[in-house]
Amino acid sequence: MGSDEGPSFWEGLVPNLKIMAVRDDFGKAEIMESSFKDDPRWGGAFVDKFGLPMIMWNEKPYYVNKPGASSQDQALLLVKLQNSFLQQKLLMQVKLSGQFFVGVLWGTQRLKVQARL
């Protein structure tokens, strides 16, 4: 959608904020449907023959999320990788600290057993 064809910045501000919070493409189409249903440029939301959600704007069909990799998909992948890396790092810290506490407990039990002998 060209910059001259789509809604203005102010028209699309609230719908775009809502759309950013939704992962599902069908959910994004529903948000657009509810936001622009009274706009004469809005032609509705539908599904193509491959089951992908599309919208009609100014009598032109547009995919909600174009099939194939886009810069948005690449950014999302990087964020997911970063989150995964941080989670793994945190879990490793928890695992190491857990091993430390198990070692301390095992060591104190050994000392108690040896003290009894």
Q: What pLDDT was estimated at residue 13?
A: 86
Asked if 64 contacts 29 with a C-beta cutoff of 8 angstroms, the reply is: yes
Q: How far apart are CA 69 and CA 21, in angstroms?
A: 20
Give pLDDT, residue 69.
72
Task: State residue 102's pLDDT score.
Answer: 63
pTM of the entire predicted model: 0.53
What percentage of the chain exceeds 70 in pLDDT? Answer: 71
In a domain, 100, yes or no: yes
Domain presence at residue 4: no
SS3 content of the chain, % helix, strand, coil (to 5): 60, 15, 25
**pLDDT at residue 94 in the model:** 66
Domain membership of residue 75 as a residue range:
70-117
Burial class, 32, CB count within 10 angstroms (exposed 0-12 / middle 13-18 / buried 19+): buried
Domain end call among 63, 88, 103 = 63
Greatest mean pLDDT among 42-46, 85-89, 94-98 lies in 42-46
> Do 87 and 112 share a domain, yes or no?
yes
Query: What pLDDT sits at residue 47?
Result: 94
Are 63 and 53 within 8 A, CB to CB?
Answer: yes
Number of domains the chain is built from: 2
Same structural domain, 37 and 78: no
Per-residue pLDDT of 18-68, as tens digits, reads 888 887 889 999 999 999 999 999 999 999 999 999 999 999 999 887 667
